[in-house]
Structures are given as structure tokens and as C-alpha cells.
Amino acid sequence: MSENTRTTLVLGASGRTGSLVVADLLAEGRHVVAYVRRPEAMKPANGLTVIGGQLDDVAAMTAAAAGCDSILVTLGMKGMDFSASEVMAGGPAPEGRTPVITMAMSSIIAVAKANDIRRVVVLSALGVGATIKNSAFTAEQIANSPLDSVFRDHENGEALLRASGLDWTTVHPGFLTSGPATAHPVVIDAASGRKLPGRSVTSRADVAAVLVHSVDDPATIDKQLIVMSEAE
């Protein structure tokens, strides 16, 4: 690896969105360090280093991040793939979920500071935290839906990041699809207060592109970005 090659640590690299993020980063000429629980799930690629480890192993993650200049987080949780109709119908989330994002964010912040990494970009979701004001759903609907514990976990973790002093960006897509990238996805600063109409849908390819672009875009620092491919 050249000394001038920029390197991003990616968490969640083996997931459906994370794998697209890795491909986009590599296509831009970056080196990628994928820190994953199951290294065997990653396909070899030029410029890709795969390191196995757990999210709560700060020492292992710190070692993996050595030489990186940014961290990109695409961690998901089983149960995030609810439809709009399921959210509207309400009902509690399944029991036994571990607050993955909150736990992981504590590790990520410690790792970033140990390696003098300023830039952290995180995949979130529309409706998490203050972005509920931009969503067609109400806070009450989320609170009474299967998404409640997932969104609270994201918000608790993201609150830690916002208070960390690091250069953060959180990216908030609508309901994720596996559709192709669109020519002109809509990217909105949540602070604008813009209310999105109906059911907002975002392709994973679009959100991956915004996540990767945000790494090197100083205009996105300390912002919650909403990404939408279409709305119904």
C-alpha cells in the first residue's frame, strides 16, 4: 500500500449495504480495512484487507484501524427490514435484541481517538432521533412499532458520536431496497426541517454512494443527511 493511499476502516462490510460501500471505496482508489465478525464472508479484492474481530474488542479494532484516516459504519440489525405497512400496523419488536449500535459506538469512538482518526460516517435510518420530524411517520407510530428498540439503539449510539468531538456524519435512508442506483437521489440536510411525503424509499446503491461521498466532503460534517431514491 502506498503511503499516499487513503484508508477507510469499514464496519458492517459483509452486509448488503456494506458490501456496496466497500466496492465504491475501492473504485475510488481507497484502501479498505474490513473489520468483520466472519472474515470468510468477504470476497478477496485488490486494496481490501479483511480482519476478523468483535465489536466490543477495542484492542483488536484499534489495531485494525492503524493507518486509517476514516471510519465508515454500516452496521445493521436483524429486524431492520420492516415494511411501511408493518410500522403502521404497530406491535412490539421481537425480544432479545442486543443494542448493537450503542455498544459498537463506544468502541468506535475509543478506536478513532486512539488512532487520531477524525472522520466517522455512520449509516442510520430516517426516523431516528431528530429525523422523525422529516418522516411521514409520527414518533408515536415508531414507538408502537417493531422499529422502536432499533431506532432507540441507533439514537443512543449516535448521541455518543455527536458528543465525541469527532467529525461525524449520519446518513438516514428511507425503507431500503436492493434496486439499482438512481441518477439523482435526493439528499437533504435534516436540519432544513423538510417533511418527506408518503413512504420514502432508498436503494442501497444510492445510500452507499452518499456514505462514500460524505467521507471526503467537509460540507457534510456534523450533519444528519436524509437520502431518498423515491417517495410514494
pLDDT tens, residue by residue, 159-203: 999 999 999 999 999 889 999 999 889 999 999 999 887 678 899
Q: Give the pLDDT confidence of 48-95 residue by residue, as tens digits.
A: 999 999 999 999 999 999 999 999 999 975 444 444 334 333 344 445
Domain membership flag for residue 27: yes
Q: Give the pLDDT confidence of 110-158 residue by residue, as tens digits.
A: 999 999 999 999 999 998 989 989 888 765 666 556 677 888 999 999 9
Name which of 211, 222, 224, 228 is nearest 76 in CA terms.
211
Residue 37 has pLDDT above 50, yes or no: yes
Domain membership flag for residue 127: yes
The range of the structural domain enclosing residue 226 comes to: 7-231
CATH number for the domain spanning 112: value is 3.40.50.720
Domain membership flag for residue 58: yes
Domain membership flag for residue 67: yes
Per-residue pLDDT band for 5 (boundaries 50, 70, 90) equals confident
Domain membership flag for residue 101: yes
Instruction: Look at residue 140 in the predicted model and tell me its pLDDT.
Output: 65
Mean pLDDT over 30-37 rounds to 97
Instruction: Look at residue 99 in the predicted model and tell me its pLDDT.
Output: 81
Per-residue pLDDT band for 231 (boundaries 50, 70, 90) equals low
Domain membership flag for residue 34: yes
Domain membership flag for residue 2: no
Indicate the average pLDDT of the chain: 87
Domain membership flag for residue 144: yes
Residue 42 has pLDDT above 70, yes or no: yes
Question: How many domains in the chain?
Answer: 1
